[in-house]
Amino acid sequence: MAARDEGRDAFKAIEEVLSWEVFSESVKEAEKLAREEEFDPLELLTNHYSVLRRYSPILLETFEFRAAPAATALLKAVDTLRQLNRDSARKVPADAPTKFIRPRWSRFVTGPEGIDRRYYEFCAMAELKNALRSGDISVVGSRQFRAFEEYLMPRPDFDRGLKEKTLSAAVPTTAAVYLEERLSLLRKTLDQSDELARDGQLPDVELNSTGLKISPLENNVPKEADELRDRHYGMLPHVKITDLLLEVDRWTGFTRRFTHLKTGEPAKGPTLLLTAILADATNLGLTKMAESCPGTSSSKLSWLVAWHIRDETYSKALAGIVHHQHGLPFTAHWGEGTTASSDGQRYRAGGRGEAAGQVNAKYGNDPGVTFYTHVSDQYAPFHTKVINATVRDATHVLDGLLYHESDLRIAEHYTDTAGFTDHVFALCHLLGFRFAPRIRDLADKRLYVPGKAAQWPALGALIGGSIQNKLIEQQFAEVLRLAASIQQGTVTASLILRKLGAYPRQDSLALALREIGRIERTLFTLAWLQDPALRRRVTAGLNKGEARNALAKAVFFNRLGEVRDRSFENQQYRASGLNLVVAAITLWNTVYLERAVTLLGKSQAVDTALLQHLSPLGWEHVGLTGDYLWHSDKRVAKGGFRPLRPPGTGLGSP
């Protein structure tokens, strides 16, 4: 190129670099390697056919598959492959089923010479994988790949409960009544919102033909609240985490919930049990904890974990702490225990746990796991579980609301954008919860209306379509059966949501549930536009969950916060131990903050309106590191409390 620009002989310039023969060969090689712009990687698939043949005949002969109507052609293709394998035949018969073949595959599977055996088998196995995940095909005798019908409560039981009105349904049990109520409310709310939008009266909202803009909420926490927090946290006594746990155990007796697997008896002496819990919570592990706790050993801790620590004992112990917190009068400043939020906290997977972690592009290329936690408006973290980092949070929202063991009765629940789908909106409504997510890019989420969009012209920029009433009417009984199955524990909410959301299943039940969810999401969106108090309430609830995550991160300090456990069971123990200790710190802070408020109120006026901003999630005064020694304070052992520090002597809280 330089020679041409300078007017020299370009061919001679090439030969100065490499011989013409080498240059010619490189061009031929480049032409051979270069692919067309529309190249499909499926063209290379047959290079790996021998790998597929190592397991496909065995897999197809070992398992018995059953298909939903949508996958009948695929099941016939599986039978065809079985017969070809038994006959050692290579050619696929011309009448072999092909309706399951998608357009992308068709040009490879079928050609001038008939059906290509290799691509036919590849296509069938790929579609079998998708159908198993979606539930269109089930495996006889399998727990993970059961038929969709088997996840629901038996139809005769549901019909009897419906007839005798023994189902605790949160909505009318007939489609006509349900639709009349919800669509009437939807029309009324649409009319109100349309009128407000037309007059420019939606608070802090700009809505016109170009789109939607909602003004950010202003910080309504006064400076006096920060001063109040620092003053009261400065009075809290410094305490080691070991002493804090012993004190909380004396109040609640939560260690008695860790019963022996066989005898049902509680552990003898709480200190060894608390050491094992602390090993989970701080991410130290049993070996490191034994080294940091004089008088114990990893063998003793391992024995105790094997017999006393299980998911159910962790849940019962947590419920004891949450129940005690809920009963404290001081928590009324923060809420009534009827609202909650949930959020996932991601931890990087390292060491042996790295292979078990999953990569989520949202967080980069490092594998990790997510601890998904539900927190009440009184700051009590009442449920936690480990979820796959690649799974949407929305799948697990209902699990925490339905399967916690505390006395909380949650009526309204908040999540961020990752926590919502139309299916979650629908199921929350059917199960009696008000779902209120903070949705990012709300303007891009369409409204669905009972009629034509022209009826509400001021909202036209947001309306995306109409509600399909007939679909809801046809499947309403099955929708109620699904909700009843979740409520009675026939199937967990997270499992059925995974099935309903799996690709490519979009059967009538899933579509009907989506339509109900669209009604509820539209009602919620309109309420969000009309009610700034709702926006503030949701934001405040989510902020409590985020503050809890900051405390959890401080407690889970060892190994740089990396989860290095390979098994799901051990990862769940880590999450449960961490949540239990966070709940204990929260309770301890609540008790002593109340004492500090009472003491300070004797000498100076305290604005009780500011106490709602006094979070019990500080940890500056809690010693989380060092050797873990279990000493009993005589005053506390007799039912007393640690002395508060004089006002103005402490360092406050972060």
| CA separation, residue 567 to residues 142, 152, 260, 357 (Å) | 22, 29, 22, 10
Query: Whole-angstrom Cα distance, residue 14 to residue 311?
Result: 72
Specify the DSSP element, H or E, that contains 435. Answer: strand 434-435
Average pLDDT over residues 90-97: 93
Average pLDDT over residues 50-71: 92
Contact (CB, 8 A) for 378 and 330: no
Instruction: Return the structure tokens found at 598.
Output: 């009472």
| Eight-state DSSP code of residue 200 | T
Cα 406 from chain centroid? 20
**φ, ψ (nearest 5 deg) of residue 356:** -90, -15
Amino acid 28: pLDDT:
87
| Partners of 110 in the β-ladder | 115
Q: Whole-model pTM?
A: 0.84
E strands along 181-271, which residues?
205-208, 211-214, 239-240
Query: Whole-angstrom Cα distance, residue 83 to residue 64?
Result: 14
Specify the DSSP element, H or E, that contains 369. Answer: strand 367-376
Specify the DSSP element, H or E, that contains 449. Answer: strand 447-449
Contact (CB, 8 A) for 349 and 321: no
Coil, strand or helix: which one is 412? Answer: strand
Average pLDDT over residues 302-311: 95
The residue ranking higher by pLDDT, 66 or 356, is 66
Query: Whole-angstrom Cα distance, residue 562 to residue 539?
Result: 29
Query: Whole-angstrom Cα distance, residue 204 to residue 181?
Result: 30
Cα torsion angle, 495, 547, 436, 376, sign: positive
The closest alpha carbon to 590, from 329, 347, 363, belongs to 329
Bond before 294 cis per omega within 30 degrees: no
Q: What is the pLDDT of residues 157-184, one digit of tens each?
A: 999 999 998 888 899 999 999 999 999 9
Start-to-end CA span in the chain (Å): 64
Residue 242 has pLDDT above 60, yes or no: yes
Contact (CB, 8 A) for 434 and 413: yes
Average pLDDT over residues 432-460: 94
Contact (CB, 8 A) for 233 and 622: no
Query: Whole-angstrom Cα distance, residue 559 to residue 561?
Result: 5
Q: What is the pLDDT of residues 213-239, one digit of tens each?
A: 999 988 888 889 999 999 999 999 999
Q: What is the pLDDT of residues 183-207, one digit of tens each?
A: 999 999 999 999 999 999 999 999 9
The residue ranking higher by pLDDT, 150 or 92, is 92
Residue 424 has pLDDT above 50, yes or no: yes
| Eight-state DSSP code of residue 237 | P
User: Half-sphere exposure (CA, 13 Å, Cβ side) for 555?
Assistant: 31
